[in-house]
Amino acid sequence: MTDPQQAARFTWFERQTNALAPYAIPALKFVSPALQPLYQLSDAVAEGAEKFFKGGDEAAPRPPSNSYGPVVVFSSRTVRDASEYRTLFAKYASEAQGGGGGGVRMMFSFLDRDASSPTALQVAWYDGPADYAVQPKELRDCYAGTEETDYTLAFGGWDESLKIKARQDAGGAGCAYSFSETMAGYLKEPAEEHAADFRTGEAPMIWVSRRKLRPGRRDLAARSFQKGVDRMYTNAPAALGIIEFPDPSDPDGVWSLRVFNEFERGFKRHFPVPSAILFRMVLNVVPEWADFPIAFSFSARAEIEGAIESNPGNQAYSKYYFDEGGDLIGPEPDFGKGF
């Protein structure tokens, strides 16, 4: 039986296309090898024409769909004592995200239910590197991992000062860090022109994943990904972040982040069916995916269930809920603060 709350989120036409997704997407992937060269030729012609009319190869400013001033930091950290960690991180996160103005728009944690030892998943959004909130010593002393077990990722506009602060948060334990200078996609600036996209009043949905690509295809996939994101940026205004960067430990891996701050104008519009976005992504990007070794979703239950109804492939994410179970450590995200 269809959940009435979810049914209201989809039109009759959308419910029909949702039902067809498990069949249509594999069919499009099957024909993609024949159609990808046409996309690549079209891209090459368009890029050549742009260079010709602009008078050469001089570097142009990055478009908004490939820019990022904010920083999202994601960490997976082994902890000595889960109960002590809960208490200390909740206090730290509430103080970091609290108060007026912007700065820190999300700062929360969950304990990884699938890890063999107590492991904390941490997510934070900073409007800029200067907003990074260094963890207190008693919290840093909770960590017990190594560079083989623990990792921290920085998506977006990090700088050297943020790198220093993030490494300081390792405390006496080990942690591997990824600070990539090559990113595709964007994190939206929290400016007044985007106020309605930050101040939606809905619970956000945050996805973090590590994707394994077909061997030798990462650069091509990144270019096609950016072409799709160029359209998503304008079509899905409440998608505050859609960004990927190369996994430094794997020549065929990428780290991915999605931040949807509204179901309709964020999630649904970033991948509408049917649309030029869908065909670009399913024919050029999705076929390059080989595996999802790591995939986390953080949201209210209704958000991810709606995403799965749209595309059953979203079931691959390990799901953590803001609104039930008492598992959330720290406050819920507040993207509208300061607007």
Are 72 and 155 contacting, i.e. CB atoms less than 8 angstroms apart? yes
Whole-number pLDDT of residue 2: 52
Coil, helix or strand at residue 232: helix
Task: Spell out, as residue ranges, where the chain has pLDDT lower than 70.
Answer: 1-7, 55-60, 100-101
* Residues contacting residue 63 through CB under 8 Å, at least 6 positions apart: 230
Which residue is listed with tokens 């990722």? Answer: 153
Whole-number pLDDT of residue 283: 94
Whole-number pLDDT of residue 324: 87
What DSSP letter does each residue of 275-307 carry, written as one string?
Answer: SHHHHHHHHHTGGGEEEEEEEEEEE-HHHHHHH
Give CA–CA dist 259/252, Å, rounded.
24
Whole-number pLDDT of residue 1: 44
- Could you say which DSSP state residue 126 is in? E
Are 281 and 221 contacting, i.e. CB atoms less than 8 angstroms apart? no
Where are any strands of DSSP class E within the chain? 71-78, 104-111, 119-126, 151-156, 176-179, 184-187, 205-213, 239-246, 253-260, 289-299, 318-321
Whole-number pLDDT of residue 57: 59
* Residues contacting residue 295 through CB under 8 Å, at least 6 positions apart: 207, 208, 209, 210, 316, 317, 318
* Full-model pTM: 0.94
